Amino acid sequence: MPSPWSPRREVSPQNSRLLIERAHEELVAGNGADPRLHDVRPLVQDSWRRALASLVGAEALPPLDLASAELEEYRRTHPLASVMDMIRALLLPGEASESGVVVAVGDAAGRLLWVEGDHHIRALTGDMGFVAGANWSEQAVGTSAPGTALALDRSVQIRGAEHFNRLVQPWSCTAVPVHDPESRRILGVIDVTGRDETITPQAQLLVDATARAIEGELLVARLRARAEQPAAPRRAAAPVERITLRVLGRDRALLEVAREGAESVSELGQRHAELLLMLATHRQGVSADQLGALVYGDADAGASASVTVTLRAEMVRLRRVLEKQAPALVPESRPYRLGVELETDAQQVLSLLDRGAHRVALAAYRGDVLPDSTSPGVEELRDTVRTALREALIAEASVDVLLAFAETDAGAEDEELLTLCLRMLPARSPKRAALVARIERLQSAD
């Protein structure tokens, strides 16, 4: 089979490499107002500035987060392990070692788990730390296709000089996140690195299509496993459990555990709710430092040790609670992660929106995620759910659904939403007068 990465006509860059390199030099030197930055794509400019804010070095090698033994064990249990043959077949057909590209698959944190492809290219990119186990998130190496795709949750192409790290600038790459087909959380990222043939429109279509095919395969495998499960001998099967964490419109989350013929509901304190929610939305696992930052916020060097001690003590208390209420949910350590699936009503809303079930999603939206929580990770998820709901409804929902959303806390003071409802209502609708009054009240308050 011919390689999809066969040389093509040279792609004309949007801006010359020299202009981009000079703009990068000025930004790194602290001259963020240099006019040459206008020659750089906004997506890349924004990523460069995030890298500077994270104190990323312009020539630093990425950290090696996973040693050999850790890497092997982590890869074995990662959700994308089961579809690696499919990824190879789609992106590295024929003689992979002479394909002219390197294909990397990473986790949701940006850590590369598999790096395969052209032997010569791998040798060259290995010198800059593009190897399995290395962290290629934006926080670690700045602008790169895998890290920026994860940061933006969309497919991204980065050409040569657009990379923040100068060591990476000889290369170009295309990457796309891979999502859980049901919860839509990010499972990982697929990246293709090489010369300019990796950033053609055709290359982006191919990598995007590969991700969608992978998500479909994961869903089919999951549905097949569920269908086959009842056929197992009853005495050998573990008790059927469905565990749900309800955090929408609640400061004290509800933990619902459904077993065969029985269901239990217990209330969690806010801190335990925050910890469990972060573990549920970071299924790949997080370190103590990462979990501490998600729950308590970033700490300076002096306070970091104190935050870690506090976190570990709270995790001990959470384990004790879960041992009584949901033993299967007791978190594992190093990294902290859940060994079983924990559904959340927040992720269910996102899944319903993704499937176009707007009215059902709105009905399931009981309010903001843990409204009084100030944990950074919770605040981010809260904004994600609220924004996704709003944008999906405004783009596609009927006027009746929009009017129902306007009655929630999230939509009550949304002037754009109310104006859209007014435009969609029939001219003689009795609901128009109340909408006009609400819009005028919001405008006068400004």
Position 77 in a domain:
yes
333 φ, ψ (degrees, to nearest 5): -120, 160
Position 123 in a domain:
yes
DSSP 414: -
195 φ, ψ (degrees, to nearest 5): -90, -155
Looking at the 3D structure of the chain, how many domains does it have? 3
Residue 397 burial by Cβ neighbours in a 10 Å radius (0-12, 13-18, 19+): buried
**Tokens 């950033």, located at residue:** 199
Those residues whose C-beta lies under 8 Å from the C-beta of residue 178, and which sit 6 or more positions away, are 80, 186, 187, 188, 189, 190, 211, 214, 215
Tell me, yes or no, whether 329 and 381 share the same domain: no
Tell me, yes or no, whether 289 and 350 share the same domain: no
Does the structure show a pLDDT above 70 at 377?
yes
Q: How many CB atoms lie within 10 A of CB 15?
A: 17
**Per-residue H/E/C for 89-130:** HHHCCCCHHHCCCEEEEEECCCEEEEEEECHHHHHHHHCCCC
What CATH number is associated with residue 302? 1.10.10.10
Tell me, yes or no, whether 28 and 158 share the same domain: yes
pLDDT digits (tens, 9 = 90+) for 157-172: 999 889 999 889 999 9
The type of residue at 86 is: M
Question: What is the percentage of the chain residues whose pLDDT exceeds 90?
Answer: 46
Q: What whole-number distance in Å separates Cα of residue 161 and Cα of residue 72?
A: 33
Supply 227's token pair: 């269908």
pLDDT digits (tens, 9 = 90+) for 5-53: 665 444 444 446 677 766 666 666 666 666 667 778 899 989 988 988 8
Position 388 in a domain:
yes
Cα 14 from chain centroid (whole Å): 28
Tell me, yes or no, whether 274 and 309 share the same domain: yes
| Domain around 41 | 17-224
pLDDT digits (tens, 9 = 90+) for 84-98: 999 999 999 877 667
